[in-house]
A and B are shown apart, each in its own frame.
Chain A
Amino acid sequence: MQVYGSKELVEDVLNKDLCIGCGACVDLCPYFKTYKGKTAMIFPCTVQQGRCHAYCPKTESDLTELSMSLFGKPYDGSPMGHHEKILIARAGDKVHPAPFQAGGAVSALVTFAMKNGMVDAAVLTGRTGLIPYAELVTESESVARFTTSKYMAAPTLSAFNQGVKQGFQKIGVVGTPCQMTALAQMSINPLHTENFKDSVALKIGLFCTWALDTRKLAAYLSSRLDITGIKAMDIPPPPAEILVLDMGGKTIEIPLSEIRPLVPRTCLLCPDMTSEWADVSVGVLEGEPKFNTLIIRTRTGQDLVDKAVAQGFLTIREMPAVNLDHLSAAASNKKKRALAGAMEEGLLNTAENGKRAMMRIEKAVVERILA
């Protein structure tokens, strides 16, 4: 993976409207800042090779390099990525009940990892009004404040960067697939720094088909309702086709056809639905709203799940084959859409003429995915 500086990051990502606002570049330095879901560069920086560029999931991510480094095998383009197991899960009895998005598996795993000392801090995403914000949490009791999904792009990783600055060395992160990609890129020491230390101890990835543009959604909703009254939001799995807003007492349903124009274009070029670079990935379960789909990908993930189950923080059961098929189809569709779009825009694999791309995938693999 070729690393450049902030100048190229601005040219290739911000100026091309490819930034998802994940926060990977934010607060590493004084130049990239996030405000209301948007990342901005406030002054030019002259460093030729920077972490901002290296970590950004929208500069050319070399998926083969990531796969080799994380899983010891090349990237093969399979719909749900490398994994050990796919299960159904939900929070166990040891977890205080809270208004989880689905089964609460995410909150359960984070709580457990903190209690058990696997992580010393966790990066979670909250919401003030409609605007998502990131926070570094150091006490397991705080996890409950961050339940439920904010269906908007969030600067989650800015809190991770702050945590590293503060000296935390075992940080757990809950985030979307793009955020997991950024963390994976951090962990391979792309700048070949001496005495490099990976501060990510646990990556809990969320499933994600797309996120919404925070500012556009805020503008859309505030002309229709009082956004400060939104208690929670949900996008139930297909075929529902709605965004449900819990207004505390009453619910408002907005057809997805109205909402789709608020999806940033960068999500349509994103190939990952299931957080393929995470230790464990969590999504909702089709048909059973109070359960999660759980994908275990790494030893770390397996270890965490085993212990959490053993100590009553998580319950699991087998996943029926039909669910798996649907999941696989959805994930595969997202990949196809993304690769086709990226190819059309010349954003797949940096060309010989030097035109810089946003991802790098072996030609044969691309063909397999698109087949």
Chain B
Amino acid sequence: MSILTNGEPGKRYLLMGNEAIARGALEAGVSVCAGYPGTPSSEIIESLSKVAGNRNLYVEWSTNEKVSMEVAAAASFAGLRAMCPMKQNGVNVGSDFLLHLALSGTRGGMVIVPCDDPGALSSINEGESRQFARLLEVPLLEPGDFQEAKGITRWAFELSEELHSMVFVRSVTRLSHASGNVEFGELPQVNPKAGFKHDGFILDEMEGIITSAPVDYKHGLQHAKLKKAVERFENSPFNTYQGPEHPELILVTSSACNFYCREAIGLLDAGDRVGLLKLATTWPLPPKLIEKYLSMTDRFFVVEEVIPFTEENLKILAQEMAPRIGIKTIMGKRDGKLPMVGELNPDIVTQALAGLLGLEYKPQPDDYVQRSREIVTRAPNRELTFCPGCPHRASFWTINNVLKMDNRQGFVCGDIGCYTLSTLPTGFSASKTLHAMGSGTGVASGFGKLKQFGMDQPVLSVCGDSTFFASALPALFNAVHNQSDITMVLLDNSGTAMTGFQTHPGLKTGAMGQEVPAISIEAVCRSIGAKVKISDPFDIESTRNALFELLEENGVNVLILKQICTLSPEKKAKKKFEVRVMAEKCLGESCGCGRLCTRIFRCPGLIWNKDKGKAEINDVICIGCGVCGSICPNAAIEKKEVA
């Protein structure tokens, strides 16, 4: 019942960028789509999984990005069209495979869709996947609006199939997670038959074996493919120019920055002074097309996120063409006209362009700015926090308390998931290192070997259930095999909660809703010889005892804290307890409490009533987990089980 397959060709629908990419893949007749959840990419697979049944698709959430690429590549090898979406750092995870895939070539159309996150809106990095296209030497396409997100994705499959090379379609948060109107094309009637040909001539791309060797031959072939790609790029309708024939300045842009440039030109009413060259085929740049626009004027301003990628590539071409077209001034990030870090927006681009055009731009009247600034300081900021009733708050509460009581400067190596917030006060600042998926346990494994050098601090790592399968396992194996002394706390909330409850190998349901075998985390850990304990983080006391016991043990220990995420569809809106603060027992600010619940525990379901000097429960927000009832030092928070 999804618009994606129900919508009528020729009509326009409001789609999220990720849905537009999914529709593009459907219009291209995609058969297999595999990925690993990660904001801002997840909705591509999610929306495809909903229509898998009626389009005969195979959609899976793979264990991690590298595996998803391998799964998608197999489909391509068998002649099917395959797509593999991921968040930016997913490309890093699979880059070893991609490096070889670039050389080995592909058969059925194979499209990799990295969704970058400039400004790290929902990441802890703002890595650039475009750099990978250049590194791997594969074609890169960047849609500049919603319609293009669909159209370019569709085209990418054709291009890939023609070149026998994977193609990158790069999106960004502001496109993937924004929505716009998209006109639908036809859905093809496809019924492909999969088959892997492997006994033809060994070097035959379509019938021989698929590998990156012999490298010199395959690398040569790859360059021939790139050359062909450039030929196609020269005439691509997705590269557009808008503006006067003899502009003072040309803005060169791609992706979401296309919107900002258009906005800036509009706001400054500069449409007759500047041109806008929006590029969709950003690597390799098509030289003839570039030469044509470089010849139109002398000043260029490259607007892109995040690194000066096109700026640099453009400068290389401009230098090569200089004998014919003269010396050009190419501005952008390298000269500081635009910031090197963070995301851009219409305001940054407008101000920068105004500067280049000698204009002044004031978005709000001065007195309005002045007065609103005064007023806004009165609105308290919103700090990130775990949800009301989040199991992580309870888990980190206990982890913190145990480490503090243990009193040996123990610490947590953090990891990626909602529980990344444990570096902040909402997680009692328990996590002290934070890097890639699975790195918490890897780093812990290293710390756990430093006794030899006099380090006697207890070492903990935390890891979510999805992260466990995605990338913590090798680290855990490493710790066991190398006899590191660590305790891994597995925060098992039964789903990839952060990105919206996608499935993972520990669960009984697959991406398309089908029943699949669930792998037991506990059994895996036990089988490799780790000591395992399981506890419910809402049961503060037994969790504390379990953790204390494990801290006494050498070697690798695993504490599985099982409690389903508050937001999970299964749990939503079901209150376990009716909770109430008994004002007469609440100690408030006085010695003996000092507002533990609202000052330290800080579940958003609790309110500090300053006038009364008592804590209260906010009925709209409290989800009735009852944990605050067990942390109150004076048993002033009463919880009654809801029938």
Contacts and interface: CB of A to CB of B under 8 A. Distances in A.
Given A45-B594, A46-B594, A33 B404 contact: yes
A30 B407 contact: no
Contact of A30 (B428, B590, B633): B633
Nearest to A39: B407
A191 B591 contact: yes
Interface residues of B, number: 19
A98 B589 CA distance: 47
A38 interface: yes
B394 to A, nearest CB: 15
Interface residues of A, number: 21
A364 to B, nearest CB: 35
Nearest to B428: A43
A29 B407 contact: no
A47 interface: yes
B221 to A, nearest CB: 63
Contacts of A31: 594, 596
Interface in A76-107: none
Contacts of A134: none
A42 B633 contact: no
A50 interface: yes
Interface in A14-51: 28-31, 33-36, 38, 40-43, 45-47, 49-51
A40 B407 contact: yes
Given A30-B631, A46-B599, A40 B592 contact: no
B427 to A, nearest CB: 13
A29 B591 contact: yes
Given A30-B631, A33-B405, A35-B406, A43 B592 contact: no
Interface in A289-329: none
Interface of A: 28-31, 33-36, 38, 40-43, 45-47, 49-52, 191
A7 B274 CA distance: 63
16 contacts: A29-B592, A30-B593, A30-B631, A31-B596, A35-B406, A40-B406, A40-B407, A42-B400, A43-B428, A43-B596, A45-B594, A46-B594, A47-B589, A47-B590, A49-B591, A191-B591
B591 A28 contact: yes
A42 B591 contact: no
A28 B590 CA distance: 11
Contact of B600 (A33, A43, A47, A51): A43
Interface in B575-624: 589-594, 596, 599-600
A22 B428 CA distance: 27
Contact of B592 (A28, A35, A49): A28
The DSSP consensus for interface residues of chain A is loop
B401 A42 contact: yes
B593 A29 contact: yes
Interface of B: 400-401, 404-407, 428, 548, 589-594, 596, 599-600, 631, 633
B633 A38 contact: no
Given A31-B596, A42-B401, 17 more contacts: A28-B592, A30-B593, A30-B596, A38-B407, A40-B404, A40-B405, A41-B404, A42-B400, A42-B405, A43-B404, A43-B428, A43-B596, A46-B594, A47-B589, A49-B591, A51-B591, A191-B591
> Ordered nearest first, which 6 A-B pairs have the shortest CB separation?
A35-B405, A42-B404, A30-B633, A45-B594, A40-B407, A38-B407
Contacts of B592: 28-29, 51
Contacts of B428: 43
Nearest to A42: B404
B541 to A, nearest CB: 13
A201 B636 CA distance: 28
Contacts of A42: 400-401, 404-405
Contacts of A30: 593, 596, 631, 633
Contacts of B400: 42
Nearest to B548: A35
Identify the interface centre among A29, A30, A45, A46: most chain B CB within 10 Å of its CB.
A30
A123 to B, nearest CB: 19
A124 B630 CA distance: 27
A276 B599 CA distance: 41
Contacts of B589: 47
A29 B404 contact: no
A52 B594 CA distance: 13
